[in-house]
Structure 1
Amino acid sequence: MVLFLQPVFQERIWGGTQLKNFNYNIPFDHTGECWAISAHPNGPNVITNGPYQGYTLDQVWEQAPSLFGASGQQNFPLLTKILDANDKLSVQVHPDDNYAQKYEGENGKTECWYILDAAPDAEIIYGVNADNQDELNQMLDQGDFETLFHHIKVTKGDFFYVPSGTVHAIGKGIMILETQQSSDTTYRIYDYERTDSNGKQRELHLEQSKAVIDVDRQIPQTRLPKEQYEQYTYQQLVSTTFFTVEKWDIHQQLAFDKQQPYYLVSVIEGEGVLYIGQQHFDLEKGAHFILTTEDQDIYFTGNFSMIVSYV
């Protein structure tokens, strides 16, 4: 039983209108985030097809655990987003599970980014230029942000794994697909002294940030090997205890070898058809769905790309 999902849109001070390019009717002039596959209480998706049409994903997770292999996890573990950074995001960091569960009442947030598009000379912040905790604290206290933050140029097709504790920020003119733990806890370090519509600067969280930042930044591997076949291309982007994320480019067709109980799928380019047994579903850029335990005999045809994730 495949589950198609209705996106939830979030207004952000840094958002824009580029999500229209994913066939969405966006509600805001500053639409920053499409929560594409989410059971988080701050933005659960509604199912748009089948017997669970009208239910939210968290309700299906709770009422029909067999669709997900009865994993035993209390909450749906992942969240897929598309972000439109019309302006640069705040510089931030996320806590790990232990810290977040103790102080925030939810899991921590490890995430990863696939760069869908990037303006010329676009860049992100990834990690810090501090050798130890004392140096980090001193630079934060003095507001020496220009020296502290590590900048990296990005282009379309780059990939970044962003574990909890990593200082990061998405720069202006970048669109990403983000796969993350299902968490909405963010500690803001620096926000360029921006003000909202009421003239107020957004809250910073420097003490929490000091407690969770990992100064041992690793240079990310942004271009990963691909496996080329006649009718499709496969690329594993990352595999960790939190999630595995893959990119599939369908050139003609793919008989999908389903080895996990359920998969989260996002179509990021092109169009095609999903066949499950005797059923078929048209796919286009911006479609998001979950293949559940009941889905067998799965075929994809067409010319499109999709990001696939699972636990």
Structure 2
Amino acid sequence: MPLFLQPVFQERIWGGRALEAFHYDIPNDHTGECWGISAHPNGPNTIINGVHQGETLETVWNTDRALFGNPKEEKFPLLTKILDANDKLSVQVHPDNAYAQAHEGEFGKTECWYILDAKEDAEIIYGVNATDQQTLNEMIDHEQFDALFKTVKVQAGDFFYVPAGTVHAIGEGILILETQQSSDTTYRIYDYNRKDANGNQRVLHLEESKAVIDLTSGSPNTTPVHKEIQGQQFTQFVSNSFFTVERWVIDGQLTYEKPQAYCLVSVVEGSGSVTTGKGTYEIKKGSHFILTTEDQDVTFEGNMTLITSYV
């Protein structure tokens, strides 16, 4: 039986109300993030069906490893979010595993973005123009941010791989699905001198940022692999040691061959059903679930777009 998850919502200074389009009852006008598949202690999902109903994903991961093929990872490795950038996010960078484990006690944060929607001329910040550490430090110290940050135009359907160490920011008017390592460590470099609800500017992390920025970080785009499988449209966006992320555009029926013991699935458009040996379950835009080792003979049926991921 798939593990269906109750989303966790995070208020953000840059959030809005766009997540309502996913059939969510969001808490306020500054809802920035839906944590759709999360075992992170800052926002663990609750299972809403089956024998584990009422338990958190973190608890199930720790107590019923057989559901996930008895993986070697101590902690659930991935986190799936939908972000509503009603306003631009801070310019930031995330540490890699080695730095994060030494200084923060958790995974590093390599991530990737699937652009669900974007206003006309929307853009992201990706990378820096500095090519050596001294230049980088001087440009940060002297706040030469217009010259330092690189920008890229985006539109719906684009995909961007954002490895740890890459300076980045999601621009205003962009809705994305993010697949990332299960980490909540962010170092802010610049935040447009914004103030929070209490009139305080948010904390910056300039020295940490200088320490983890990767000046060799290259193009934001991967090379997607497109195929037609069983008459359905399949795209693999990225596949590496952190995660594999794929898109299925289904119009009809697909017999899904699970590539790993467990797979994460988010419905980002449309509706339909998923059938396993345990039964048939209705799914729609905004549904998030995990196919576990119990889920054999998986069939999707309907008219919908899925983003799937696995380690």
TM-score band, normalised by shorter chain: over 0.9
1:163 aligns with 2:158: no
Correspondence for 2:50? 50
Give, as a single letter, the amino acid of the residue that structure 2 aligns with 1:70. Answer: N
CA contact (8 A) 2:7 2:34 kept: yes
Give, as a single letter, the amino acid of the residue that structure 1 aligns with 2:286. Answer: G
1:112 aligns with 2:106: no
Equivalent pairs, count? 311
* Distance in structure 1 (CA, Å) of the matches to 2:254 and 2:280: 14
1:252 aligns with 2:259: no
Correspondence for 2:123? 123
* Distance in structure 1 (CA, Å) of the matches to 2:259 and 2:160: 25
Question: 1:81 aligns to what SS in structure 2?
Answer: strand
Correspondence for 2:15? 15
Q: TM-score of the superposition, structure 1-length normalised? A: 0.98
Correspondence for 1:137? 137
Q: How does 1:215-230 map to 2 (within 5 A)?
A: 215-221=215-221, 224-229=224-229
Q: TM-score of the superposition, structure 2-length normalised? A: 0.98
1:78 aligns with 2:73: no
Question: 2:208 aligns to what SS in structure 1?
Answer: helix
* Distance in structure 1 (CA, Å) of the matches to 2:223 and 2:171: 19
Correspondence for 1:29? 29
Question: 2:100 aligns to what SS in structure 1?
Answer: helix
CA contact (8 A) 1:254 1:299 kept: yes
C-alpha deviations, 1:173-214, integer Å up to 9, x for none?
A: 000000000000000000000001111100000000000001
- The runs of 4+ residues in structure 1 deviating greater than 2 Å are 220-225, 228-231
Give, as a single letter, the amino acid of the residue that structure 2 aligns with 1:146. Answer: D
Aligned-pair distance for 1:29? 0.8
CA contact (8 A) 1:116 1:157 kept: yes
CA contact (8 A) 2:278 2:295 kept: no
* Distance in structure 1 (CA, Å) of the matches to 2:224 and 2:171: 22
Correspondence for 1:190? 190
Deviates more, 1:109-118 or 1:273-282: 273-282
* Distance in structure 1 (CA, Å) of the matches to 2:80 and 2:219: 24
Question: 1:251 aligns to what SS in structure 2?
Answer: strand
CA contact (8 A) 1:273 1:280 kept: yes
* Distance in structure 1 (CA, Å) of the matches to 2:226 and 2:122: 24
CA contact (8 A) 2:83 2:177 kept: yes
Aligned-pair distance for 1:226? 1.6
Correspondence for 1:295? 295
1:279 aligns with 2:275: no
CA contact (8 A) 1:158 1:223 kept: no
Give, as a single letter, the amino acid of the residue that structure 2 aligns with 1:300. Answer: F
Structure 2's unaligned 5+ residue stretches are: none
Correspondence for 1:179? 179
Q: CA RMSD in A?
A: 1.0
Deviates more, 1:44-53 or 1:278-287: 278-287
CA contact (8 A) 2:165 2:217 kept: no
CA contact (8 A) 2:161 2:220 kept: yes
* Distance in structure 2 (CA, Å) of the matches to 1:48 and 1:108: 29
Give the 3 Å change call, closer, same or farther, for CA 294–230 of structure 1 in structure 2.
Answer: closer
Give the 3 Å change call, closer, same or farther, for CA 222–121 of structure 1 in structure 2.
Answer: farther
Correspondence for 1:213? 213
* Distance in structure 1 (CA, Å) of the matches to 2:146 and 2:295: 51
Structure 1's unaligned 5+ residue stretches are: none
CA contact (8 A) 2:224 2:238 kept: no
CA contact (8 A) 1:159 1:223 kept: no
Give, as a single letter, the amino acid of the residue that structure 1 aligns with 2:308. Answer: V
Aligned-pair distance for 1:41? 0.2
* Distance in structure 2 (CA, Å) of the matches to 1:72 and 1:65: 10
Aligned-pair distance for 1:96? 0.3
Aligned-pair distance for 1:109? 0.3
* Distance in structure 1 (CA, Å) of the matches to 2:71 and 2:232: 30
> Identity over aligned residues, as a percent?
64
Aligned-pair distance for 1:230? 5.7
* Distance in structure 1 (CA, Å) of the matches to 2:280 and 2:169: 40
